[in-house]
Amino acid sequence: MKIAVLSGKGGTGKTFISANLACSAEKAVYADCDVEEPNGHLFFKPIITENNTVSVIVPEADINKCVLCRKCIDFCKFNALALINGKLMIFKEVCHSCGGCIVLCPQQALSKNKRDIGTVEIGISENVTVISGCLNTGEVSGISIIKKIMTKIPDNKTVIIDCPPGSACTVMESIRSSDYCVLVAEPTIFGSHNLAMVYDLVKIFNKPSGVILNKCLNGQENPSEKFCTDNNITVIGKIPFDEELGNLTSCGLIAVRENDKFKSFFDNLLKEITQ
């Protein structure tokens, strides 16, 4: 079963919940799809067994074959090409790697070139296989890295997908193959607004979902909980704003591996989700 953990904003506890759910399973895969700032590895400290480079296709021009027809320039929706003084300029970081210009060129003056944009590392941390994507600094889109991560996920295990924050393309790519979506929400008005965004997203993708209310304060109103009640959304768990949890996490430890109390809490949560 593939469980995606997502939230409308950063810092809600996606990695915290993903790591603890993965450690609760007998054997699991943890996939860090937050490729712009992957941090799951800080908690798992995996022994790396495999390192893959991820590259994308970018066009390369053979000036001798180009007849300055501009078909490639007119085609490119992202304006990654320009024709100046009889020379084709290619802006590789603007290119979205669709390959259309290469197909369209009547002179076959454009060919496929590869550009490295990041890595996917695989490692072992006790009962968890850790797959971690990392986009190189300054790159625009992590989609190709997430696609690569997905090819490395085995089918037969409990898989926890730690998504990027927000509800943009990279999140869609991360939840596409999931069987269940866990939405993590903070007890603030801002948090409930961001929860509404990701809830809309998982509805569009027709994914079964449930909410984990994180950092809950005793006796204080929780706008995210109110949003769930008002919209008839299942709350699968409430995690208190707990000093011990905070201390463990800030030391780079996974609560489930440190304390039986937390182990049984996340065991139950995982059971709830997998049922």
Q: Which residues bind other proteins (CB under 8 A)?
A: 73, 76-85, 87, 89, 91, 93-94, 96, 138, 140
| Nearer to other proteins among residue 103 and residue 140 (C-beta) | 140
Q: Do residues 65 and 54 lie in contact, with contact meaning Cβ atoms separated by under 8 Å?
A: no
Provide the minimum distance between the beta carbon of 211 and other proteins in the complex, in angstroms, as a whole number. 28
Task: Give which of 197, 136, 245 is closest to 6, Cα–Cα.
Answer: 197
Q: Do residues 72 and 59 lie in contact, with contact meaning Cβ atoms separated by under 8 Å?
A: yes
Provide the minimum distance between the beta carbon of 47 and other proteins in the complex, in angstroms, as a whole number. 32
| Nearer to other proteins among residue 82 and residue 124 (C-beta) | 82
Q: Which two tokens stand for residue 74?
A: 């007119």
Provide the minimum distance between the beta carbon of 169 and other proteins in the complex, in angstroms, as a whole number. 13
| Nearer to other proteins among residue 87 and residue 203 (C-beta) | 87
Residue type, 32: D
Tell me phi and psi for residue 126, to 5 degrees. Answer: 50, -115
Provide the minimum distance between the beta carbon of 83 and other proteins in the complex, in angstroms, as a whole number. 7
| Nearer to other proteins among residue 48 and residue 140 (C-beta) | 140
Q: Which two tokens stand for residue 36?
A: 């712009």
Q: How far apart are alpha carbons 166 and 73 in whole angstroms?
A: 32
Strand 2-6's sheet: what is its strand order? Answer: 47-61, 110-125, 128-135, 28-32, 158-162, 2-6, 180-185, 209-216, 235-240
Q: Do residues 101 and 69 lie in contact, with contact meaning Cβ atoms separated by under 8 Å?
A: no
Provide the minimum distance between the beta carbon of 61 and other proteins in the complex, in angstroms, as a whole number. 14
| Nearer to other proteins among residue 18 and residue 141 (C-beta) | 141
Provide the minimum distance between the beta carbon of 79 and other proteins in the complex, in angstroms, as a whole number. 3
* Helix, strand or coil, per DSSP, at residue 239: strand
Q: Do residues 23 and 254 lie in contact, with contact meaning Cβ atoms separated by under 8 Å?
A: yes
| Nearer to other proteins among residue 99 and residue 223 (C-beta) | 99
| Nearer to other proteins among residue 74 and residue 126 (C-beta) | 74
Phi-psi region of 148 (alpha: psi -120 to 50; beta: other; left: phi over 0): alpha
Provide the minimum distance between the beta carbon of 138 and other proteins in the complex, in angstroms, as a whole number. 5
Strand partners, 17: none
